[in-house]
Structure 1
Amino acid sequence: MIIRNAMLQQGLCDIQVADGLIKEIAPVRTLPSADEDYDAEARIVIPGMIDPHVHMRCPGMENKEDWVSGSWAALAGGVTTVFDMPNSLPATENLEALELKRLAAAKADEAAASGGYAVPGRMYWAGCSPETVQLLPELLCEADVAGLKLFFSETSSNSSSTDINFISRAFAAAAEAGKPVAVHSELGALLNGGSECSSYLESAPLIQHNSRRPAGAAVAGTALALELAAVAGCRLYVCHISTMAEFAMIRKHKEAYGADSVYAELTPHHLLLDENHIVKGGFDSWAKVNPPLRSIADREAAAEALLDGTVDVIGSDHAPHLLTDKTMDTRDFHECPSGFPGLETELGFIAGFLKAEVPGNESEWIGRLCRLTSSRAAEIFGLSGLGEIKAGNRADLTILNGPQRVDSDGFMTKAKYSPFNGMKSDISVYKTIVGGKIIGQ
């Protein structure tokens, strides 16, 4: 196959694909005809997105998402590789649980084989608790295990602990394995300690949620993780950073210990939304998430960190729940689970933000987009053959298009809601190519 008239960072090119790999990149109209020609019509083509932060919810919570629906959501969003978090049922804390997760994911392979399409590549995060930390060395040796994920507070079906001896032992195991440690850094001991509002008439529910999970809990947890990672000599991956203070700490840590001592992940919702957000045509509960949407100042700090290079990667924190569980009257706001789908919206909004904010010509913001959504993740996690459009790499590509308004009713995920519902992104995903197979929208 030849993809013709593809607008790459370096300009308009043709891309030859064979056996699932990129064979050649050439000036337009210089490659011979092929059995299959696809005209990209000068649309921007980037490496398929690598999303290191996805909750596929299975095994154990297939009513919320499974690997078939989640894979389709990824493809719809231009995501060609996903990293699944360990808080499934059972949690991925031993080899047996990992094998159950692989078997659940294999159902997507079976569906793809029968339907003649491809599914995203996948990696898994290992979890652990004080009771299972001794199993980490063998779990981290698995080739499809990206690293270790620790939670410093309870969220959906996870083990959490802030015991220093446990964390130090887990960090040491990751350092020995040469794999990073991802942390959800909100300290459980500091949650629910914010100023309480006496009624919903006094403050919007999202602001109340922020007060119950104060910024200080995330800041303290990130500070703890940075200190212990420096002692253990492990690489730290801080998930969904949401506060100005965390970005400042990470800048200093990178300066002191090097760019690969800590990796900063940013979600589109912490970049573009804040605690004053009102969901168009939906419910405030749709935007309830952990860590919460923060203040305007924190959101502006996230934008600064993205533009100055502090942020390494974009992660969706795709965390689907049933619409019936998320669509509640505001009086029941605190019973509503935190999290929302993000695979189908992340790339368009990040691309649109960079197009508007990165100075220079088109190649400048396209280059930043490629690094944030693919090449940096490939470097961090050692994913050879991914992250760049070059000869010899896997033909995982995403073709971008013009503006599109989010309509969560049409999502591929089982979770048909979004805090971005009704919002327009200046860029959207047109088609996704996985291993040389085109999946249309």
Structure 2
Amino acid sequence: MTYDLIVRGGEVANHAGRGFADVGIIDGKIAFIGDLSQASAGEVFDATGLTVLPGVIDTQVHFREPGLEWKEDLETGSRAAALGGVTAVFEMPNTEPNTTDPDALADKLDRARDRMWTDHAFYIGGTHENAKYLAELERLPGCCGVKVFMGASTGTLLVADDDGVREVLSHVKRRATFHSEDEYRLVERRPLARTGDWTSHPEVRDPESAILSTRRLVRLARETGARIHVLHVTTAEEIEFLAGHKDVATVEVTP
């Protein structure tokens, strides 16, 4: 068989484990993994000494477009992702304007067309105002799910109270994702911030702010029968707690 591309001689790491193998590609898709020493291809990439991995799916990126392009945009962010081995991204809703309705989602999809270097989808932000529409919004083409900010955020995205989180969870049908910090504790501790001193950041946003919120979130998920995903966990306490609630919660950690 002739392949369009053979990646030859690398150490392949996938669901089957790790081992040295060749990868044959036809029409942009992996057609074979194994010994292709006798096969031919239009192009051969020598991966000797390299590790060959499946493309990474990054489920939380902030590309800041529209409104904050001076930080990043869809083109530069996705190009950097591709160079790092990320082949698909889910982009967050805290842009300006917030991505909370069909028009804002459609605008992002239009901006992404012919500019983004990776596969992509966009989160709809869950808010007090759009909670009752989330079952429809999360099913829109190009939407990867609902993102909720229980701690400090922008625009109308903050849903700090139990009633608001409960309302969101009662309408979402897919697994909802959460920035889990207790806004009330953050507000109480804000006076601890020292202007220009980055070391005060973990004093304001301390581990207790995270675990308090995550305990509340799991309780509300169980009340409503919803499934949740807790983003960028930074504390050992949360990991230990969430390990006992795998039936309702998945989790990712901060690198």
Pair in the same fold by TM > 0.5: yes
Cα distance in 2 for partners of 1:19, 1:54 equals: 28
Task: Say which structure is richer in strand.
Answer: 2
1:265 is aligned to 2:240: no
Q: Aligned ranges for residues 112-151 of structure 1 at < 5 Å? A: 119-151=117-149
| Pair 1:46–1:168, CA change in 2 (3 A) | same
5+ residue gaps, structure 1, are 110-118, 269-441
- How does the TM-score come out when normalised to structure 1? 0.53
Corresponding position of 1:26: 34
1:5 is aligned to 2:12: no
SS at match of 1:35: strand
Aligned residue identity for 2:31: K
Counting aligned pairs with the same residue, the percent is 31
Which of 243, 247, 251 lines up with 1:251 in the alignment? 243
1:185 is aligned to 2:180: yes
Deviations 1:59-99 (A, max 9, x none): 22122111111111101221111110111122111111100
Greater RCO between the two (CA within 8 Å, min separation 6)? 1
Cα distance in 2 for partners of 1:16, 1:156 equals: 46
Query: What's the offset of the Cα at 1:262?
Result: 0.9
Corresponding position of 1:224: 216
Cα distance in 2 for partners of 1:266, 1:153 equals: 17
Aligned residue identity for 2:142: D
Aligned residue identity for 2:46: D
Deviations 1:281-303 (A, max 9, x none): xxxxxxxxxxxxxxxxxxxxxxx
Cα distance in 2 for partners of 1:42, 1:206 equals: 40
Deviations 1:2-21 (A, max 9, x none): 11112113411111111111
| Pair 1:249–1:6, CA change in 2 (3 A) | same
SS at match of 1:36: strand
| Pair 1:100–1:143, CA change in 2 (3 A) | closer
| Pair 1:36–1:107, CA change in 2 (3 A) | closer
Cα distance in 2 for partners of 1:188, 1:35 equals: 57
1:60 is aligned to 2:67: yes
Aligned residue identity for 2:249: V
| Pair 1:199–1:51, CA change in 2 (3 A) | closer
**Matched pairs, number:** 247
5+ residue gaps, structure 2, are none
1:91 is aligned to 2:78: no
1:5–1:28 CA contact under 8 A, matched in 2: no
1:192–1:213 CA contact under 8 A, matched in 2: no
Query: What's the offset of the Cα at 1:181?
Result: 1.1
Query: What's the offset of the Cα at 1:240?
Result: 1.0
Aligned residue identity for 1:4: R
| Pair 1:107–1:59, CA change in 2 (3 A) | farther
RMSD: 2.1
Following TM superposition, where does structure 1 have runs of at least 4 consecutive aligned residues deviating by more than 4 angstroms?
195-200
